[in-house]
Chains A and B, each alone.
Chain A
Amino acid sequence: MKRSSSLRGYVITRTLLAIPMLLILLTVVFLLMRVAPGDPISAALGGKLPAAELARRKHDAGYDRPLAVQYVEYLKDVATLNFGTTILDNRPVTQVIAQNGAATLELTFFAMIVAMVAGVGIGLLAGAYRDTAIDLGGRLFGIVLYAAPVFFLGFLAQLTFGKWLDWLPTSGQTSPVVGATLQTHTNILVIDAIIDRNWSALQDVLRHLIMPSVVLGLVIGGIFIRLVRVNLLQTMKGDYVEAARARGVKEPRVVYKHAFKNALVPVITIMGLTFALLLGGAVLTEETFNWPGIGAELVRYLDNRDYIAVQGIVVVTGIIVVIVSLAIDILNAWVDPRIRY
């Protein structure tokens, strides 16, 4: 009981702390967008219309109202989950988040699979073969991946596998014809193709997923390699590991069942946070591969000073990150009773 009430208290505290965090985020986003020079009307029609006409349109759209008035309206809208309609292209912000967010979710999910397989696998090898060529190779591989800009790796991949070998498509979520004919149910095209039992479309979607998810996954995997290796070496020094060996437990079991699983606890935390951050959009990857994700869309709206779109996307992304990090903290606290505030 003591443990469950302690956990309950921890959950309540963490949840309550999320509220001021979100409020700060909302306020900072609002102020930054309003204080930065420019406005959506000038961005779109400057150089086309006289200054007086631009000013009139800005006034009609309410962009010159007092900041305090705009702020209060903004908070009211957020509280009622009304994120508005984008100024640039008249889309409901929720539609932008649903459609483009789904594309980012798809990319992120598969990238994380690649990151986990590559990162954990190579990190495990490096830790197990410490101070050997395998360890050195694994660490170097991780450093190179982590240090290389993702767009550079993306361009290399496009050049090699797209242009020279012509094995894989270089951009987009699907080929144009498949995109035109595939019915969208969830906006996650892999799932949509499966729902429709459209196997040729599924193949097309998977082919388009390979390059961006592998590139992004390897870059993230570079971080995981080092993290897994370091944590594995740390846990291998533990007394319980020696004790297991002393009891005659076979080495693979010692490493895999005892040391490795404990080494993964902090890694899972990082994985979860990385996943949450990527849901905000892996901008460089999306731009490199013309992936219609939320990150690339956010950049477009930022370029055009679309306050409404940027506020909505950042707020929703912020909420997602807060929820996911809260979930990870709760999970960790539940798994490891030592973790309490």
Chain B
Amino acid sequence: MRSAGAREERGFYVRRTLRVGAAVAVLAVMVAACKSNSSTAGGSGAPNSSATIVHGTTDSIVSLDPAGQYDLGSQQISGEIYDNLLVIPAGGNTPEASAAQSCAYSDPKTYTCTLKPGLKFSDGSPLTSEDVAFSFKRNLEINDPNGACSLLNAINKPGADGCKWNPASIDTPDDATITFHLNAPDATWPMILTSSAAYIVPSDVFPETKLQPDDKVIGSGHYTLTKYTPGQQVVLAPNPNWWGDPPANGGVIVQYFDKSSALKLALEQGDVDVGWRTFTPTDVEGMKGESQLQVLTGPGSEIRYLVFNESFPAGKELAVRQAVAMTVDRQAIVHNVYNDTVAPLWSMVPSALPGHIDAFKDAYGDSPDVAGAKKALQDAGISTPVPLEIWWTPTHYGDSSADEYAEIKRSLESSGLFTVTLKSTEWDTYINAAVTDQYPNYQLGWFPDYPDPDNYVFTFYSSASFLNDHYKNAKVDQLLADERASTDQAQRVKDFQEIQKIGAQDVPIVPIWEGRQLAVTTQGITGVQDTLDVAYLLRYWMIGKSS
């Protein structure tokens, strides 16, 4: 039996423990209560050109060297640091001169640009034609596994296996003139000059045969890189040697988040001014109701689609493909799965691009046509229900893929015409298997390299398509060759429209939805709406913050 004295003495260290705990708790509350002054919430009133904008994103950077990147995260920062000969202006979809004063074809295989006078890199060194030629050369020579040198096929060494510099492809007769000698007529070349493969780098700073360290990159764009903490933060300051108007802000901090939920919380707390890429539909729904945030949308060029491999029994049958196209309920997917943050896609060319037509809507209507699908199958003598095996991946296209494909299954099976087996696997296994004849029907998505319909129709409908879906149409191949060789934009538009109509008839691929660009900002942030366009570049220089 314990004595009263023992109990009292035991209480001694109990009280001491509690005192220690209380002291720790008070200290924590004091630290927490002293909110830092680093909130970035904007106010009302005139834009403050010295304000720092904080952009939060779930993207990541592979490389800030143009020769080592082919991803949106890297291109977003590089698009601020580097300049191109041509760029896509905000809200537009036709290349305009930037570093170049002018560019033009002298013949279908010769494209000449003249640089603006007095251009400089951010370190003050002059930008000449030699730097431009060097930039293309090193991209091809380095041939980085993560790089976009494959976009430069038009000037690649003919017959080479992979990327290889062709010395005859670029002439620089003087410091201001660059002449490209293309391997074949290529109407997309001006578009490619707007891409990440064509950023201009200084020849006396960047090495010719290897990548430049990310924290030492220099360009001639709107901003300079002042700090880079991989995986965490990029800090940009206005480039004092930029040839054009100064930016609407005093600098940008790009903060990287692993999860969109963390980005959402940071926006709500005011730690981030602009959230762009990528939010889930649930995040967006939650933020729409918050008074301190603005949800902005703009046209996008990201698409999702379902591929039929025509070497499999079901994919081989035109009637089956057409019946699926008639039965898929795009509206249900857009509304139920994505809360209307995306839009139905009626063509393999997104609606924001010139030449787009709603080919599938014109051919099959804008809502499921079960009767039409049934007739198509009956006329072809195909018994129903048709068994379909459809593959999708949970680890590359976002958390909503599962729901999307469940909805596709539901809409196909509810017609009574199909029985659908859904299968999935993680991305690495998936992508290798999908394009090597292991999956009969499968999900894929696409971001454009440049905002031209060629980057869609050639990619998907060409007999050399990376999809390896065994779709071949000689007329389409001819139309693709024609549009690539033509500099007559009106004629190209007609060719694109014809290709889309054929695509809707042949249905090697069923377009499902197209993404809308979506950004969320705190109140007082300006300029974001104007930069949400098909170029997929958040132009920081346009973004301001009210005082």
Could you list which residues of chain A lie within 8 angstroms of chain B, going by C-beta atoms?
37-51, 53, 56-58, 60-61, 87-91, 95-96, 99-100, 117, 121, 124-125, 128-129, 158, 161-163, 166-173, 175-180, 184, 200, 203-204, 206-207, 210, 214, 250-252, 255-256, 287, 289-290, 292, 296-297, 300, 303, 305
Q: Measured between alpha carbons, how far is A163 from B432 in the docked complex, in Å?
A: 42
Residue in chain A with minimal CB distance to B52: A177
B257 and A290 contact, CB distance less than 8 A: yes
B255 and A41 contact, CB distance less than 8 A: no
Interface bits B25-41 vs A (CB < 8 Å: 1, else 0): 00010011111111110
Interface bits B376-404 vs A (CB < 8 Å: 1, else 0): 00000000000000000001100000000
Q: Which residues of chain A have C-beta atoms less than 8 A from B258's C-beta? A: 287, 290, 296, 300
Give the segment of B112-120, B142-150, B475-483, B531-539 that binds chain A: B142-150
Interface bits B52-75 vs A (CB < 8 Å: 1, else 0): 101000001111000010110000
B231 and A43 contact, CB distance less than 8 A: no
Q: Most chain-B CB neighbours within 10 Å: which of A56, A57, A173, A206?
A: A57
B427 and A300 contact, CB distance less than 8 A: no
Choose from B31, B253, B266, B435 the contact partner of A171 (Cβ within 8 Å): B266
A170 and B269 contact, CB distance less than 8 A: yes
Q: Measured between alpha carbons, how far is A140 from B413 in the docked complex, in Å?
A: 50
Q: Can you report 8 residue pairs joining A to B where beta carbons are below 8 Å apart?
A: A43-B428, A47-B445, A50-B466, A89-B230, A167-B32, A175-B36, A180-B233, A287-B259
Determine the main DSSP class of A at the interface with B.
helix
Beyond A46-B432, A177-B253: 4 further Cβ-contacts under 8 Å? A56-B161, A88-B146, A162-B265, A171-B257
B150 and A49 contact, CB distance less than 8 A: yes
Residue in chain B with minimal CB distance to A162: B265
Is B103's CB within 8 Å of the partner chain A? no
B231 and A176 contact, CB distance less than 8 A: no
A255 and B13 contact, CB distance less than 8 A: yes
Choose from B24, B233, B426 the contact partner of A176 (Cβ within 8 Å): B233
Q: Which residues of chain B have C-beta atoms less than 8 A from A203's C-beta? A: 31, 34, 36
Kindly provide the distance from the CB of B446 to the nearest chain A CB, expressed in whole angstroms: 8
Residue in chain B with minimal CB distance to A297: B231
Q: Measured between alpha carbons, how far is A314 from B444 in the docked complex, in Å?
A: 33
A172 and B429 contact, CB distance less than 8 A: no
Q: Measured between alpha carbons, how far is A125 from B13 in the docked complex, in Å?
A: 9
B262 and A51 contact, CB distance less than 8 A: no
Q: Which residues of chain B have C-beta atoms less than 8 A from A49's C-beta? A: 150, 466
Given contacts A48-B70, A124-B17, A128-B10, contact A177 B38 (CB under 8 A): yes
Q: Which residues of chain A have C-beta atoms less than 8 A from B40's C-beta? A: 176-177
Residue in chain A with minimal CB distance to B444: A47
Q: Measured between alpha carbons, how far is A171 from B14 in the docked complex, in Å?
A: 35
Given contacts A89-B230, A170-B265, contact A45 B146 (CB under 8 A): yes
Within 8 A of A (CB), among B205-233: 211, 214, 227, 229-233
Given contacts A166-B269, A179-B233, contact A121 B255 (CB under 8 A): no
Q: Measured between alpha carbons, how far is A255 from B9 in the docked complex, in Å?
A: 10
Q: Most chain-B CB neighbours within 10 Å: which of A162, A175, A178?
A: A175
Given contacts A45-B70, A49-B150, A177-B40, contact A121 B20 (CB under 8 A): yes
Residue in chain B with minimal CB distance to A171: B262
Residue in chain A with minimal CB distance to B273: A176
Q: Which residues of chain B have C-beta atoms less than 8 A from A125's C-beta? A: 14, 17
A121 and B428 contact, CB distance less than 8 A: no
Q: Which residues of chain A have C-beta atoms less than 8 A from B396's C-beta? A: 47
Kindly provide the distance from the CB of A246 to the nearest chain B CB, expressed in whole angstroms: 13
Given contacts A47-B444, A178-B38, contact A210 B31 (CB under 8 A): yes
Q: Which residues of chain A have C-beta atoms less than 8 A from B61's C-beta? A: 89
Q: Measured between alpha carbons, how far is A200 from B36 in the docked complex, in Å?
A: 7
Q: Measured between alpha carbons, how far is A48 from B257 in the docked complex, in Å?
A: 24
Is B296's CB within 8 Å of the partner chain A? no
Q: Measured between alpha carbons, how far is A207 from B32 in the docked complex, in Å?
A: 6
Is B272's CB within 8 Å of the partner chain A? yes
Q: Measured between alpha carbons, how far is A113 from B17 in the docked complex, in Å?
A: 15
A250 and B269 contact, CB distance less than 8 A: no
Kindly provide the distance from the CB of A170 to the nearest chain B CB, expressed in whole angstroms: 4
Kindly provide the distance from the CB of A52 to the nearest chain B CB, expressed in whole angstroms: 9
Residue in chain A with minimal CB distance to B436: A51
Is B162's CB within 8 Å of the partner chain A? yes
Given contacts A91-B230, A251-B6, contact A305 B257 (CB under 8 A): no
Is B506's CB within 8 Å of the partner chain A? no
A169 and B271 contact, CB distance less than 8 A: yes
Given contacts A203-B34, A287-B259, contact A42 B231 (CB under 8 A): no
Q: Measured between alpha carbons, how far is A161 from B21 in the docked complex, in Å?
A: 19
B428 and A38 contact, CB distance less than 8 A: yes
Residue in chain A with minimal CB distance to B268: A163
B21 and A61 contact, CB distance less than 8 A: no
Q: Measured between alpha carbons, how far is A204 from B283 in the docked complex, in Å?
A: 27
Within 8 A of A (CB), among B462-517: 464-466, 468
A89 and B428 contact, CB distance less than 8 A: no
B428 and A42 contact, CB distance less than 8 A: yes
Interface bits B238-271 vs A (CB < 8 Å: 1, else 0): 0000000000000001010111001001101101
Q: Measured between alpha carbons, how far is A128 from B257 in the docked complex, in Å?
A: 45
Kindly provide the distance from the CB of B427 to the nearest chain A CB, expressed in whole angstroms: 7
Kindly provide the distance from the CB of A46 to the nearest chain B CB, expressed in whole angstroms: 3
Kindly provide the distance from the CB of A247 to the nearest chain B CB, expressed in whole angstroms: 14
Kindly provide the distance from the CB of B104 to the nearest chain A CB, expressed in whole angstroms: 30
Choose from A96, A168, A176, A255 the contact partner of B38 (Cβ within 8 Å): A176
